[in-house]
């Protein structure tokens, strides 16, 4: 099962004095409201999901607003704010700022050891990301296979997917005093997922052609991670092509300290 995680205080983010004290604070309220979680699988690399008119979210939008009315309205962020820079910046800026915090709430020791506690990752530095920006949506496609280490960890964890409870949060990293404290964009939790229940994703005939086969080193690391997990905990009928997310550690420390929030920076 999967759903919105509340509250954001489960996650520790950079506090207002992080640059000098390395102190983190509870994440607090989300800037955005998570609406759903889709558990999907496919025979090829999954990308540009919301460009596919067969996608359930896209179909709902098209049917509800057939005349082209915009179903979403975006309030104007202060010019120069971190969110404004992220939405309007180039891919290089997005790659350097979009952050994932992953926490294994429940699961076997080997998976918790591989992922770590409150693992933090600047996604675009560790993994290949594609940003799909349209009038009505903003989509980030993360290629787990672009990192040998992340691919091995995900394949290891997938062997235990029906036993895992994982919290994932997303935010834009604050790298200067004016961008702190950090604010969570949103978060969700998935628990005890069943691979057999994943919906089959039908790629659009007009979608991305970026379904290239992984490099040999990446395929080897996938085999190592999958083989190790099956050796320790076999899962009959497990599927490889499940859309998921992996995390890589950084060296940030987690301390508890109360701090004020300045939402105008965001």
Structure tokens at 183: 């604010």
The reported pLDDT for the residue numbered 97 is: 98
Quick one: 53 exposed, middle or buried, by C-beta within 10 A (0-12, 13-18, 19+)? exposed
Longest dimension (CA), the chain: 55
Which positions ≥6 away from 174 have C-beta within 8 Å? 14, 18, 82, 180, 181, 182
Q: pLDDT digits over 107-142, tens only? A: 999 999 888 888 999 999 999 999 988 777 788 999
Instruction: Say whether pTM exceeds 0.85.
Output: no
The reported pLDDT for the residue numbered 70 is: 59
The pLDDT mean for the chain works out to 76
The reported pLDDT for the residue numbered 200 is: 85
Q: H or E stretch including 139?
A: strand 138-143
Tell me what percent of the residues of the chain surpass a pLDDT of 70: 66
Q: pLDDT digits over 143-166, tens only? A: 998 999 989 988 899 899 999 999
Residue 253, pLDDT > 70, answer: no
Residue 13, pLDDT > 70, answer: yes
């Amino acid at each position: 099962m999967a759903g919105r995680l509340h509250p954001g205080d489960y996650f520790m983010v950079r506090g207002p004095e992080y640059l000098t004290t390395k102190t983190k604070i509870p994440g607090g309220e989300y800037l955005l409201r998570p609406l759903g979680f889709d558990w999907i699988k496919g025979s090829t690399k999954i990308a540009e999901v919301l460009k596919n008119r067969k996608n359930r979210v896209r179909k709902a939008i098209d049917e509800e607003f057939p005349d082209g009315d915009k179903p979403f309205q975006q309030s104007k962020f202060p010019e120069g704010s971190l969110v404004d820079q992220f939405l309007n910046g180039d891919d290089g800026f997005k790659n350097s700022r979009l952050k994932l915090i992953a926490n294994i709430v429940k699961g076997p020791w080997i998976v918790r050891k591989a992922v770590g506690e409150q693992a933090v990752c600047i996604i675009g530095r560790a993994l290949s990301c594609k940003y799909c920006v349209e009038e009505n949506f903003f989509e980030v496609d993360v290629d787990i296979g672009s990192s040998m280490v992340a691919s091995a960890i995900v394949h290891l964890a997938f062997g235990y997917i029906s036993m895992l409870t994982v919290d994932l949060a997303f935010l834009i990293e604050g790298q200067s005093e004016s961008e702190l404290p950090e604010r969570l964009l949103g978060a969700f939790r998935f628990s005890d997922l069943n691979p057999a229940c994943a919906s089959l994703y039908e790629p659009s005939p007009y979608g991305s052609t970026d379904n290239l086969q992984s490099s040999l080193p990446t395929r080897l690391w996938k085999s190592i991670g999958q083989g190790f997990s099956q050796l320790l905990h076999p899962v009959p009928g497990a599927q490889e092509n499940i859309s998921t997310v992996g995390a890589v550690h950084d060296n940030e420390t987690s301390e508890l300290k109360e701090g004020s929030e300045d939402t105008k920076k965001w």
